[in-house]
């Protein structure tokens, strides 16, 4: 559970409940709850966009803050960083008014479950994807903040890591507003809770650690930093990437791209399925571009042929 100053009970609605927005009059039918956090509750619902994720916040300010983040994400160049935003409204009941927003429902496997099914060899590949997206987020002036496996899902066709919850996203330079202890450098004594790229990169390192066994190691009372580093260096799955992970823990990377380059070097040095996976993905992308190019050339050829026949039959 993410840490915040206040604790609020989850918002509960029965499956089948109909939500009607006060201002836009859009209808949503609740299917089931998806998750509960420090800033609100998310439900799977059915609306005009098909299946959507509805987030009901504990206060208007929190909803407005997250909506602003999603709007900023949509303006970052490249593929969407977070879920697409569909609607923002209020639902008025006899008891109270609930502020909510509707966003894209990203269907996929939770990161740790995907690693369990496909194997740890995929973890460095997903981390490379994550670092690329984090780099774009940091360049836009934000850090993710509450970065953890619970907020990451892997979609299929193609396999792609996506972000689910932007509730902890914080502007660079401010204090982190939401965090989860295991992935927080302040909890382990590696630094302060200040929104800067190195804060997210620490969390990436801890996600790597978490994925190795699918569980979180105990902090302990005596020398937790030393204990954590020993665990990483001695773990069979983590040892090939130990240098990168430990550097991230100590805040030695100032950008996500720096960490990404060093991780790529480690992957090249590791004779395992990781290399084959990386090469296969690159080959598939090249093959896809080649097919698209050939398809475009064929279309042009057909158009020219039709035009030539038209001229020959009706004009000349």
Q: What angle do CA 35, 82, 5 make, to 5 degrees?
A: 50
> Which residue of the set 146, 165, 184, 200 is catalytic?
146
Measure the CA–CA gap between 171 and 145, rounded to whole angstroms: 9
Structure confidence by residue, pLDDT tens digits, 205-225: 999 999 999 989 998 888 999
Phi and psi angles of residue 97, each rounded to the nearest 5 degrees, phi first: -105, 125
Measure the CA–CA gap between 282 and 160, rounded to whole angstroms: 14
Q: Which two tokens stand for residue 20?
A: 């009607």
The highest-level CATH class for domain 18-104 is alpha beta
Q: Write the CA distances from 310 to 254, 306, 316, integer angstroms.
A: 62, 6, 9
Name residue, tokens 């395992």.
272
Measure the CA–CA gap between 125 and 127, rounded to whole angstroms: 5
Structure confidence by residue, pLDDT tens digits, 19-52: 999 999 999 999 999 988 778 899 999 999 999 9
30: nearest Cα among 16, 20, 42, 41: 16
Supply the angle between the helices 123-139 and 111-118 in degrees, to the nearest 10: 150
Q: Write the CA distances from 251 to 125, 169, 191, integer angstroms.
A: 21, 19, 8
Query: Which overall architecture, per CATH, does domain 109-274 show?
Result: Orthogonal Bundle (1.10)
Long-range Cβ pairs for the range 247-254 (8 Å, 24+): 248/198, 248/201, 248/202, 248/204, 248/205, 249/185, 249/188, 249/190, 249/202, 249/205, 249/206, 250/190, 251/185, 251/190, 251/191, 251/198, 251/201, 251/202, 253/197, 253/198, 253/201, 254/197, 254/198
Structure confidence by residue, pLDDT tens digits, 94-125: 889 999 999 999 999 999 999 999 999 999 99
Counting every residue written for the chain, the total comes to 316
CB-based contact 69:142 (threshold 8 Å): yes
Gyration radius of the chain over CA positions: 23
Q: Strand, helix or coil at 52?
A: strand
Regions in the chain scoring below 50 on pLDDT: 1, 4-7
| Pure H helices in the chain | 60-75, 111-118, 123-139, 185-188, 197-213, 224-234, 242-249, 256-269, 273-310
Measure the CA–CA gap between 93 and 306, rounded to whole angstroms: 62
Neighbours of 233 (CB within 10 A): 13
Report which DSSP code applies to 314: I
**146 is an active site residue:** yes
Report which DSSP code applies to 181: G
Domain extents in the chain = 18-104, 109-274
């Amino acid at each position: 559970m993410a840490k915040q100053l206040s604790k609020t009970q989850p918002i509960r609605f029965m499956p089948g409940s109909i939500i009607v927005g006060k201002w836009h009059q859009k209808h949503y039918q609740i299917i089931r709850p998806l998750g509960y956090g420090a800033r609100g509750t998310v439900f799977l619902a059915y609306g005009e966009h098909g299946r959507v994720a509805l987030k009901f916040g504990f206060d208007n300010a929190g909803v407005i803050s997250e909506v602003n983040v999603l709007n900023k994400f949509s303006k970052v160049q490249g593929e969407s960083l977070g879920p697409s935003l569909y609607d923002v409204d209020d639902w008025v009941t006899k008891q109270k008014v609930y502020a909510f927003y509707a966003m894209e429902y990203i269907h996929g496997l939770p990161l740790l479950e995907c690693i369990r099914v496909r194997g740890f060899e995929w973890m460095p590949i997903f981390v490379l994807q994550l670092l690329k997206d984090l780099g774009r987020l940091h360049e836009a002036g934000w850090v993710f903040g509450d970065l953890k496996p619970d907020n990451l899902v892997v979609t299929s066709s193609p396999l792609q890591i996506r972000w689910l919850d932007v509730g902890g996203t914080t502007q660079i330079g401010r204090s982190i507003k939401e965090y989860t202890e295991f992935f927080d450098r302040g909890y382990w004594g590696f630094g302060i809770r200040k929104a800067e790229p190195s804060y997210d990169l620490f969390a990436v390192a801890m996600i790597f650690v978490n994925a190795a066994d699918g569980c979180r190691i105990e902090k302990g009372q005596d020398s937790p930093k030393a204990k954590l580093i020993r665990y990483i260096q001695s773990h069979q799955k983590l040892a090939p990437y130990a240098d990168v992970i430990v550097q991230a823990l100590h805040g030695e990377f100032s950008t996500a791209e720096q960490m990404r380059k060093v991780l790529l070097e480690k992957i090249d040095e590791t004779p395992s399925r990781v290399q084959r996976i990386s090469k296969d993905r690159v080959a598939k992308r090249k093959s896809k571009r080649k097919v698209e190019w050939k398809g475009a050339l064929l279309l042009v050829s057909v158009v020219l042929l039709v035009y030539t026949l038209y001229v020959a039959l009706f004009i000349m």
